[in-house]
Amino acid sequence: MRITDPGLKAVAHKYFSGERLDFQDAMTLYETPDFNGLGLLAHEARVRRHGRKAFFIHNQHLNYSNVCRNRCVFCAYAKNAGDPGAYTFSLEDVRNQLTCRAGEPIREIHMVGGLNPALDFDYFESLLHLIRELRPEATIKAFTAVELDYLSGITGLSIEKVVERLKKAGLAMMPGGGAEVLNDRIHKALFPRKINKDRWLEIIETVHGQGIPTNATMLYGHLETLEERVLHLLLLRELQDRTGGFSAFIPLAFHSANTPLSHLPPTSGVDDLRTIAVSRLVLDNFDHIKAYWVMLGEKLAQTALFFGADDMDGTIVEERITHTAGATSPKGLSREGLEHLIERAGMLPVERDSFYGEMASMEVQ
Ligand code: SF4
């Protein structure tokens, strides 16, 4: 391995002798001038776990409402009820969205939305029942810790009880959003009405305890420092040690268009790749690091497969949240399009289900 920075060499030695990296090591990874060396190191870690495999899933996103009472500073997606562009899907709307893709072998329905005071618990249970009826073969991956906390608040039910009922209605997995950066300073500045880091960690621990795996994300590239990013990763690693319930980590590059933070420059490609690489090396107890092509763009996501990422997410069909914040990537990709991106990178495309079970090869064709 051609690593030129002596500090990075020491971290590489530590990592490959099986020692866990600490805060200072993670900072060395973030700050090393040896960007190529960092990429080599993260790629080696990725290849040792997954070889040339690069995972993807045939999925569909459903964002049921953009009406949200929280109005986080960084969010371009949320509206007040009655604002131009505010929407809430009726069950009929959801039925139409699912049936118009009935011919596609969709493996996962990914569903999140705003905290809309007009929606009651029945709505969410009915949504899950409907999806299960129309897509019995797909895994329902839905709701963040923020939505669970909200549902607990409007019903008076404990988080355990909320999860139990949603699980009964069809919930099988949760995506990893809502934490943004696990840090009180950032919480106060950017999303004070949303749950804080302690509550997010507590809810996710409860969810894992009830047998529902989740992902974890980090929204980076706004007000946070590198130190705060590293502390976020270490908090996730600590929770994963206790529960083993995280499936994948997904760094999310912040898009500032249509937000009060639109003066902030976009993240650089180097920062995006560096963040993927640091995540791969620090999160030694996470199996998968995802390059979310919607936020990175297709070409950078493809490059990220050489900086520690092993998953390109999915076909998605119609992404709304990042596109309201100015993402210029397409709103969906075909399965062939994703396979093509992976193959052109010299990697092996592997279609997966929500739990990283590999689909039979004849279905990948
Ligand atoms: S980030 Fe989520 S909780 Fe915050 S305003 Fe947007 S939709 Fe609402």
CA dist., res. 90 & res. 93, Å (int): 5
To test the pocket of ligand 1, the residue of 77, 116, 186 to mutate (highest count of ligand atoms within 8 Å of its CB) is 77
pLDDT at 364: 37
Average pLDDT over residues 246-258: 95
Distance 33 CA to ligand 1 centre (A): 36
**Nearest CA, atom 2, ligand 1:** 114
Ramachandran class of 156: left when φ > 0, alpha when ψ lies in -120 to 50, beta otherwise: left
Q: What percent of the chain has pLDDT over 70?
A: 94
Pick the closest to residue 226 from 21, 23, 6 (CA basis).
Answer: 23
Give domain limits for the chain: 53-364
Q: Whole-prediction pTM value? A: 0.94
For residue 66, give the ligand 1 atom closest to its CA.
Answer: 7
Q: pLDDT-derived band of residue 3, with 50, 70 and 90 as boundaries?
A: very high
For residue 68, give the ligand 1 atom closest to its CA.
Answer: 8
Q: pLDDT-derived band of residue 363, with 50, 70 and 90 as boundaries?
A: very low
Distance 75 CA to ligand 1 centre (A): 6
pLDDT at 164: 98
**Nearest CA, atom 5, ligand 1:** 71
CA dist., res. 49 & res. 361, Å (int): 20
Ramachandran class of 39: left when φ > 0, alpha when ψ lies in -120 to 50, beta otherwise: alpha
Q: Which two tokens stand for residue 289?
A: 């690091």
pLDDT tens per residue across span 161-209: 999 999 999 999 999 999 999 999 999 999 999 999 999 999 999 999 9
pLDDT at 294: 86
Q: Strand pairing partners for 174?
A: 214
Q: Which two tokens stand for residue 263?
A: 């003066």
With a 6 Å cutoff on the Cβ, whether 77 touches ligand 1 is: yes
53-364 carries CATH number 3.30.1330.10: no
- Output the average pLDDT for the chain: 94
Q: pLDDT-derived band of residue 325, with 50, 70 and 90 as boundaries?
A: low
pLDDT at 314: 84
Distance 191 CA to ligand 1 centre (A): 8
pLDDT tens per residue across span 259-318: 999 999 999 999 999 999 999 999 999 999 999 988 899 999 999 999 999 999 888 766
pLDDT at 318: 62
